[in-house]
Structure 1
Amino acid sequence: MQSTMLFAATSRSFISRSAPLFGRDGIVPPLVRGRIRPMSSVAQSSDNNPAASAVAAFSSSTAYSAKREIHNDTPRMQEIAFPPAYYPEESGVASRKKMKEDDDSGAANASSEMLDRFRVTAEVTVSKIFPAGFGWQSSSILASNYMGCGPDTIGFALTTGLGDGVGVFAGHCLYNLVKRNVTRDLNIDMERESQTGILLASAAFCSGTAWQPLVNALQGAELSFFQVFAGTWIGCGTAFYLGLRGARTILSGPFKYIHGPTFENSITDKSLSAAIGGATGFFVGTDTAYLPAQNFLINVVGIHETTTALTGCAIAGTSTSLGFASAQSTLNVIYPSGKLWNDGK
């Protein structure tokens, strides 16, 4: 009996919710209405049955809640937190931007290093290369006019080599002393600079001593001016390198600021020796007596018989300065970073 009443109540609820499906505005079409038999007529009254009353109450509340409400309020958009999106394009742009910044930084560093190379080149030209040529020419006057040594004697070669070395040492120490006092740069240690001057002067003595005998031999072989020029460059550059390596071996013991020979400083010593060779090659141009028609430097650094002694010394210093600056400038451009003697100075 209870199942029959439950079925009747559920049927009423189903009919009430399904009314819009049978006709417009909830009205059942006449043809269909005649065929529908309300199931409540077969169900017993629920007045005396609590279970039936509960089912009826549930059905009525369900039917009420199923009604659709129509309003004109603007729908509100819900705030949805979307997960962060990954865009490969933006990542690529950022990567390219970082690469460009790195390239710009690398270019700035390379430019700064190049400027430092030329700055050191200029300082060395003024402080050591010009004094070296000036000292060699001065000592040649001393050897020939006051010591009676001819250009083909060992005394002349040793005297000029000594003058070359003294010019390097004196110029290096004097330049750094003046620079320290003018700029108030306390990082310039004169003890260290003095020992560096001794090292460079030792190598300059070797190349300065070799210059005149080497030029005599090349000119005696009746070579062209350019061949004498190139041979002197190579020969004196080699003499400077051997003197520099030997001085490192001997002087690194008693002098704490002179480093012994290593593979690393052999590379920098070679680059410096190549530039020194250029200085000695240009110095050949001061000789106006040998094949003057082939001497492409005669109008620039030629020392003629009528040239005064002091002027001749200045011209000699100018010739070595031009040769060193030309050779070293080329090395500054073509050498990789960290391989030149003037890197990091």
Structure 2
Amino acid sequence: MVTKTSPTSAEAMSTPTIEDAPTSSITDRFVSTAEVTVSKIFPAGFGWQSASIVADSAGFEADTLNFALTTGFGDFVGVLSGHTAYYAAKKAVTGSEDINMKAEAQTGFLLASAAFCSGTGWQPIVNCLQGMNLPFASVMAGTWVGCGTLFYLGLRGGRTVFSSMEHIEEPTYENSKNDASLSVAIGGATGFFVGTDAAYLPDQNFLINVVGIADGTPDLTGCAIAGSSTALGFAACQSAFNIAFPAGKCWND
């Protein structure tokens, strides 16, 4: 009988497993953080914003299910295409035989499926919190928690539904811990994405001068700013994890 290799969340981001690298250095953690940011987090924000432009052109209002599903799909496409393109390019440049593109495609699909969940939920969550006239910081925090939770549920559900795939591990207690810490960092990306809304309480939006997308911003520029906002949020949260977590305890060890 052939036993399927079971990747953890660390493997899902194409980094060594805890067993393979129990003494992963902080430098290694920051290198993997940079790779994830470039290959998945920036494309996720870029894809969501691009899809929102498509949804708006189709006449979908921001409070409709069609808008939410369209932007969630944009998130899905951004993560899947960004992940596979990055590792295909890395394999072509380095010639590394350690990069298995079948595994990367399945990994990208799992992560993209989770991103679809958080991406679909982002606008409804923001609409709800802003509709309650909450301070900007509360909207940001609520979105962080809400979308991070949706990403986690998407990962766990994906592991359950797609575990028949060779390179996707079924849900276990061990990978649940890794999935949870990764989801918190993803939540940070979605929280910072709230800063792109330059119209809501601009005097409280401390990110407005960094990632605010004002009316009249060219579409492509807006997409790039959106990607930068998610990249900034993920990098900020994950950097704290990289420093605080003991060796072998962080999802990217």
- TM-score of the two chains, using structure 1 as the length reference: 0.67
Equivalent in the alignment of 1:263: 173
Q: Distance in 1 between matches of 2:201 and 2:36?
A: 31
Q: Distance in 2 between matches of 1:288 and 1:322?
A: 17
Are the aligned partners of 2:79 and 2:111 in contact in 1 as well (CA < 8 Å)?
Answer: yes
Letter in 1 for 2:51: S
Secondary structure, counterpart of 1:151 in structure 2: coil
Are the aligned partners of 1:267 and 1:339 in contact in 2 as well (CA < 8 Å)?
Answer: no
Post-superposition offset of 1:112: 5.3
Seen in structure 2, the aligned counterparts of structure 1 residues 112 and 192 have a Cα distance that, compared at 3 Å, is: closer
Letter in 1 for 2:233: G
Q: Distance in 1 between matches of 2:55 and 2:161?
A: 29
Post-superposition offset of 1:306: 1.6
Equivalent in the alignment of 1:117: 29
Equivalent in the alignment of 2:121: 210
Equivalent in the alignment of 2:215: 305
Pairing of 1:140-289 with structure 2 (within 5 A):
140-145=52-57, 147-253=58-164, 255-289=165-199
Q: Distance in 1 between matches of 2:148 and 2:246?
A: 21
Q: Distance in 2 between matches of 1:154 and 1:339?
A: 38
- Measured against aligned partners, the alpha-carbon deviations of 1:190-224 in whole angstroms (never above 9, x if no partner) come to 00000000000000000000000000000000100
Are the aligned partners of 2:181 and 2:251 in contact in 1 as well (CA < 8 Å)?
Answer: yes
Are the aligned partners of 2:40 and 2:82 in contact in 1 as well (CA < 8 Å)?
Answer: yes
Q: Distance in 1 between matches of 2:23 and 2:192?
A: 29
Are the aligned partners of 2:151 and 2:186 in contact in 1 as well (CA < 8 Å)?
Answer: yes
2:169 corresponds to 1:294: no
Are the aligned partners of 1:288 and 1:304 in contact in 2 as well (CA < 8 Å)?
Answer: yes
Post-superposition offset of 1:339: 2.0
Q: Distance in 2 between matches of 1:236 and 1:112?
A: 29
Equivalent in the alignment of 1:340: 250
Q: Distance in 2 between matches of 1:153 and 1:135?
A: 19
Letter in 2 for 1:248: R
Post-superposition offset of 1:167: 0.3
Secondary structure, counterpart of 1:258 in structure 2: coil
Letter in 2 for 1:158: L
Are the aligned partners of 2:52 and 2:70 in contact in 1 as well (CA < 8 Å)?
Answer: yes
Q: Distance in 1 between matches of 2:123 and 2:247?
A: 35
Are the aligned partners of 1:134 and 1:314 in contact in 2 as well (CA < 8 Å)?
Answer: yes
Are the aligned partners of 2:23 and 2:247 in contact in 1 as well (CA < 8 Å)?
Answer: no
Are the aligned partners of 1:267 and 1:340 in contact in 2 as well (CA < 8 Å)?
Answer: no
Post-superposition offset of 1:338: 1.8
Q: Distance in 1 between matches of 2:56 and 2:163?
A: 35
Equivalent in the alignment of 2:48: 136
Post-superposition offset of 1:119: 0.4
Are the aligned partners of 2:22 and 2:248 in contact in 1 as well (CA < 8 Å)?
Answer: no
Letter in 2 for 1:176: Y
Structure 2 residue corresponding to 1:314, chosen from 214, 224, 243:
224
Post-superposition offset of 1:113: 1.6
Post-superposition offset of 1:110: 9.0
Secondary structure, counterpart of 2:27 in structure 1: helix
Letter in 2 for 1:201: A
Q: Distance in 1 between matches of 2:195 and 2:87?
A: 30
Post-superposition offset of 1:288: 0.5
Q: Distance in 1 between matches of 2:146 and 2:67?
A: 18
Letter in 2 for 1:136: W
Post-superposition offset of 1:111: 8.2
Secondary structure, counterpart of 2:151 in structure 1: helix
Seen in structure 2, the aligned counterparts of structure 1 residues 200 and 215 have a Cα distance that, compared at 3 Å, is: same
Post-superposition offset of 1:256: 0.8
Q: How many residues align?
A: 233
Secondary structure, counterpart of 1:222 in structure 2: coil
Q: Distance in 2 between matches of 1:173 and 1:342?
A: 18
